[in-house]
Structure 1
């Protein structure tokens, strides 16, 4: 199998479809490969949201601290998912914990780098936000359904 660059990986990702080669080059320049072991935290609630983590292989979970109960899984993430959106919203702090459920391989984009590229190239920024909003909306919907499942099971 041929070695894939970060640019190649992003070009195949649904959140980047429609980006031209120049836009992919700009964003890929902000990226690096990351690996997490099963059980390892990708980030903790309250941490500075400095990285856009895109799962390549493996599964992760979004967890919320529940007093007296331990962490509650409120969302399951799979290859192709973008793990967190907190980097978009000042003060750019993670709003939950994210944990690797299995061993994970990911692309990590430096959030400041991505935002700077969007500021410098407003068409890129517009396209990125326009293409990423449906992914964010789908995730919010899935999280709501998972919470409904969780609370619905306890209400019986």
Structure 2
């Protein structure tokens, strides 16, 4: 199983925790080009993609926002909702039509507080997603803005 596959909901949470989480999600749809959130905005919800494609981007002053990762079915959209100060660290925009489950962040954080096993599972999953996304962003930014390869000074 690839590392990114292990981060998807079906593989990331035990069945009972996954089912419990999905019971409080509401189904939503977004057209291509819909902006779900912008970097710096209030992170009060998150999504799990059922189908479609979404691009995560990052603000770079003086440049167009580069896409740092593209997400698909089963992927978690948003991790900033779990960690104070609950502010988005990336932006997100749909590439294709998207069908997703949407979750209220406060409700899920309360579930995590009330059930420590559930909370540990969710925090472990989101933490792994966070680490993966930061590595992907770093790699992408180095590809775009790092020194040209070739080994020497110009």
Q: Check conservation: 2:79, 2:129, Cα contact below 8 A.
A: no
1:124-135 alignment to 2 at 5 Å?
124-135=118-129
CA distance in 1, matches of 2:134, 2:99: 23
CA deviations 1:83-112 (Å, max 9, x no partner) are 111111111011221000111111111111
Q: Which moved more, 1:141-150 or 1:102-111?
A: 141-150
Unpaired stretches in structure 2, ≥5 consecutive residues: 1-8, 150-154
Does the alignment pair 1:120 with 2:117? Answer: no
TM-score (normalised: structure 2): 0.79
CA distance in 2, matches of 1:127, 1:107: 19
* Superposed structure 1 runs of 4+ greater than 6 Å apart: none
Q: CA deviation at 1:46?
A: 2.1
CA distance 1:143–1:108, change in 2 (3 Å): same
Unpaired stretches in structure 1, ≥5 consecutive residues: 1-11
The count of residues paired between Structure 1 and Structure 2 equals 142
CA distance in 1, matches of 2:64, 2:35: 15
1:57-72 alignment to 2 at 5 Å?
57-72=51-66
Q: CA deviation at 1:27?
A: 1.9
CA distance in 2, matches of 1:127, 1:67: 36
CA distance in 1, matches of 2:125, 2:91: 25
Q: CA deviation at 1:71?
A: 2.2
Tell me the C-alpha RMSD between the 2 structures: 2.3
Q: CA deviation at 1:125?
A: 0.6
1:74-113 alignment to 2 at 5 Å?
74-113=68-107
TM-score (normalised: structure 1): 0.78
